[in-house]
Copies of this chain bind each other. A is one copy, B any other.
Amino acid sequence: MATTAKPSPSDYTTEAQSIITSLLPGGLCADQAWHKLAALTDTVGNRVCGSPSLERASSYMLSVWQAEGFDNVHGENVTVPHWHRGNEECTMLNPRLGYRMQILGLGTSIGTPEGRPVEAHVLVVRNFDELAALGKAGQVQGKIVLVNYACDWSTNPVGCYGACTKYRGEGASRAARWGAVAYLVRSLASASIGSPHTGMQTYASSKAEDQIPAAAVTVEDAEALARMQARGEDVVLRLSMGAKNLPARQARNVVAEWRGRELPDEVVLLSGHLDSWDVGVGAMDDGGGLAISWQALSTLRALHWRARRTIRVVGWVGEEFGGIGGRQYFDDHREEKVVLVIESDMGAFRPRGLSFSGGEEAASVMAEVGSLLGGINATLVARDGKGYETDTQPWKAVGVPGASLLSENERYFAYHHSHGDQMSVLQPGDMDLAAAVFAVTAFVVADLDEALPKGDERGEGGKGKMKEEKERRTMRKGNAGSGLAVS
């Protein structure tokens, strides 16, 4: 079936329904997204920047996309950091001799000197104010600092992340400034079964005095150490970390298209990131985002529909170290006519709709697109002026309309960056609905008579700030996701 261009999203009711039907249980494309992602993650596992498995994953994706018959399947080089975790061990020497704590070093952390154990007394603080006060009092010198910042995750299971990221991201150098020998942070997590959660941290500078080893401990251990200190007990740990920052490596953003039938040089972009942390398999963060983007393209192909414009899927690399692949892609493609950038990086759970960033005119078109998703209860088109995801941020910053998936992601931070980020977190039926949101949105916007109007340029922000910006915005996203801050 070929369609004729139409002036308004509301003219696409039939097409939208066909896409949705093909992704509902028993439909032509049902259950595919989850199983395709399972095959990737079961085969390749996790895909941390600089690892051979990330390269294998890129090759895997290009190969299956070629086999599926997409257009213009190719990789695009991106230089990414290469951080290697190495062996890690944290054992309590006092008060509970021999207790082996579950830890995960933070991305970009250095190891302990020559990977050998550091033994030191622990100082537990609740926040940076306490750290600074105790630092000034000379209490931090020679200590292992643990920041046990407690956010009420039970009432704010997504939003707390934004409130906590600075403790993971900046704490090591802050503690180093006061003479700490290592830095521990309470895992940023909405639930725990003795589970540490890793993530990126950033040293204030490359100077040795700003750099000490940094790791996440479990919520349970953070609370236990705080109690021990409150009882006046002397807490002593032996920490060894073999982490290393190795020379940067080449990785590849992966690209596939379903070329437009009339305006192939105009592009609607669908995306998720292919890289992950080196624990779990990165099924949720962000295999799911990539899989629903991919499934949207597969569905249009299965229906034999080509929109007027090209629909392109990109699997980013380097997201976990600061949106590197997204930035590189923007730098290489900024002259192209990109009509809409779509991304999912907050969990491909049951969709509520989209968060939209762009001008008023485009927003009203997008709201009409949202109405096409009434049959699956995903009509929400929330506006926060920016969008939450990292990799499409450069486009949005120059006024290109952007959308990201809003889903029932209240459990996202139970699994995020942990051994638990595996296929069991995701549900086939929910991923199909999310793919339907992406497919309908991409197809309609790519097919409309007129391109979605561009909004105002609003300045890009610093390159290195992209990831942190995402994390700050997560605070607001928690609200939008719950429908509290929707315009």
A residues engaging B (CB < 8 A)? Answer: 38-39, 42-45, 95-96, 99, 102, 191-195, 218-220, 223-224, 227-228, 231, 279-280, 414-415, 418-424
Contact = CB atoms under 8 A, between A and B. Distances in A.
Contacts of A415: 193
A191 to B, nearest CB: 7
A279 B279 CA distance: 21
B424 A42 contact: no
Given A220-B424, A423-B223, A424-B220, A45 B193 contact: no
Contact of A223 (B95, B419, B424): B424
8 contacts: A38-B224, A39-B231, A42-B228, A42-B231, A45-B99, A193-B195, A194-B421, A220-B420
Contacts of A224: 38, 42, 422-423
A174 to B, nearest CB: 26
Given A96-B43, A220-B420, A423-B220, A193 B227 contact: no
A227 B414 CA distance: 24
A257 to B, nearest CB: 28
A38 B95 CA distance: 13
Q: What is the oligomeric copy number? A: 2
Given A42-B224, A228-B42, A420 B192 contact: yes
Contact of A192 (B45, B96, B193): B193
Contact of A418 (B191, B193, B219): B193
A188 to B, nearest CB: 13
Nearest to A221: B422
A479 B228 CA distance: 39
Contacts of A195: 193-195, 419-420
Given A42-B227, A418-B193, A419-B102, A219 B96 contact: no
A45 B420 contact: no
A32 to B, nearest CB: 14
B96 A42 contact: yes
A424 B187 CA distance: 14
Contacts of A419: 102, 193-195, 218
A205 to B, nearest CB: 34
A452 B70 CA distance: 78
A115 B191 CA distance: 35
Contacts of A219: 424
Query: Of A44, A191, A223, A224, which is in contact with the most chain B CB atoms at under 10 Å from its CB?
Result: A224
Contacts of A193: 191-193, 195, 414-415, 418-420
A42 B102 CA distance: 15
A419 B217 CA distance: 13
Contacts of A191: 193
Nearest to A235: B42
